[in-house]
Structure 1
């Protein structure tokens, strides 16, 4: 009889916990979508895992930055038990998404939490250069981002800026010392990237930079 009562109590506790956890999970990701910072804060205070993954494997912070749901993102970034280096299956970190979206304040907060400015493969500077987010690029470089970081196929931030970014982003990287002579695995330089995308302003900036570095009469 005692064993039977213990089993009933056990089932009651377990069946009570699982729906609560399931409900919290749904509430967490719904709140992110709605930028409902109060609900996220409440769930975290009640012990919800800040690093819980969505069904497609994304962390809550990554999703908040991508939406963007910036009020929720700030709550998560400031939550002490959050893993700021939680990466998805593509090896993307929250800092990379913040850089891609140009969220300068959140990039600053993530760096203050020791998010990795430099990492092998695609890096935050690649992502910032892709959309020409000058403030984010300058901030990353200020915190010692490797200016000639190479992606798995050898693409550098300058190449990304030349093809997808802006002439201003190209100039910032050139002025900061980016290597214009580097080539990716297909043998393409930043100038080639600019020409392929018909970004003639960026191509001309790169050409001018090369000319200033060569002896007079040689080009």
Structure 2
């Protein structure tokens, strides 16, 4: 009877300690990401810690690792068999979107292989790659059948983002890949309007020349 009572007491103590242990592991998880400590992360994952854990703001660990440039930890998380690659932050951004924005080609490839959504609704990885002029990522996404004229919630396309923020080479790549030059967002703006408003003369020149070369190829919104 005495031994049974002791076992019950120990089990009860373990139940009480479980939330504290998880909290400590969660803190260690976030710390390992910020420090790019792959050894600590490997130990956590080996103990069964969930690689999809989010911080107090709702940001998934992998998204945070990519944002922080903690690439050793990011690789470990991507390699985890329990990773859910489409775990998103509160603003619906996915790890593939951050990898595309940062230009992490290898990691983006591995995420796609694990089932990351190239064509998620709303803002897409191609929008993010185009915004930051990540040409290799743009080529990868297009090879993986990313919709070149994907529309954000306000109707903005990757070409519009490239025209406003990206490198001229990103604009050229999208034009050559067949992006619709005449599409308009919900404010009625085309990619050329974006380039003009952002005072991007290189993008203005590229778009103007492309429009002149295809005066009747209108598929977009008027």
TM-score category (smaller protein): over 0.9
The 1-side partners of 2:113 and 2:10 are apart by: 47
The 2-side partners of 1:214 and 1:56 are apart by: 48
The 1-side partners of 2:209 and 2:193 are apart by: 14
Who is 1:171 aligned against?
172
* Residues 34-70 of structure 1: CA deviation (Å, up to 9, x unaligned): 0001111110011001111101101110000000100
1:82 aligns with 2:83: yes
The 1-side partners of 2:8 and 2:80 are apart by: 38
* Residues 110-157 of structure 1: CA deviation (Å, up to 9, x unaligned): 111111000110000000000100000000000000000000000000
SS in 1 for 2:81: coil
SS in 2 for 1:88: coil
Instruction: Give TM-score, length-normalised by structure 1.
Output: 0.94
After superposing on structure 2, the runs of 4+ consecutive aligned residues of structure 1 that deviate more than 4 Å are: 1-7
| RMSD over equivalenced CA pairs, Å | 1.5
Who is 2:163 aligned against?
162
Who is 2:207 aligned against?
206
State how many pairs are aligned: 215
1:104 aligns with 2:105: yes
Unaligned runs of 5+ in 2: 217-222
Who is 1:62 aligned against?
63
1:71 aligns with 2:83: no
SS in 2 for 1:44: helix
Residue 7 of structure 1 deviates from its aligned partner by 5.7
SS in 2 for 1:105: helix
Residue 76 of structure 1 deviates from its aligned partner by 0.5
The 1-side partners of 2:118 and 2:148 are apart by: 11
Who is 1:116 aligned against?
117
The 2-side partners of 1:115 and 1:172 are apart by: 23
The 2-side partners of 1:28 and 1:9 are apart by: 27
The 1-side partners of 2:109 and 2:9 are apart by: 52
Higher mean C-alpha deviation, range 83-92 or range 175-184: 83-92
SS in 2 for 1:165: coil
Instruction: Give TM-score, length-normalised by structure 2.
Output: 0.93
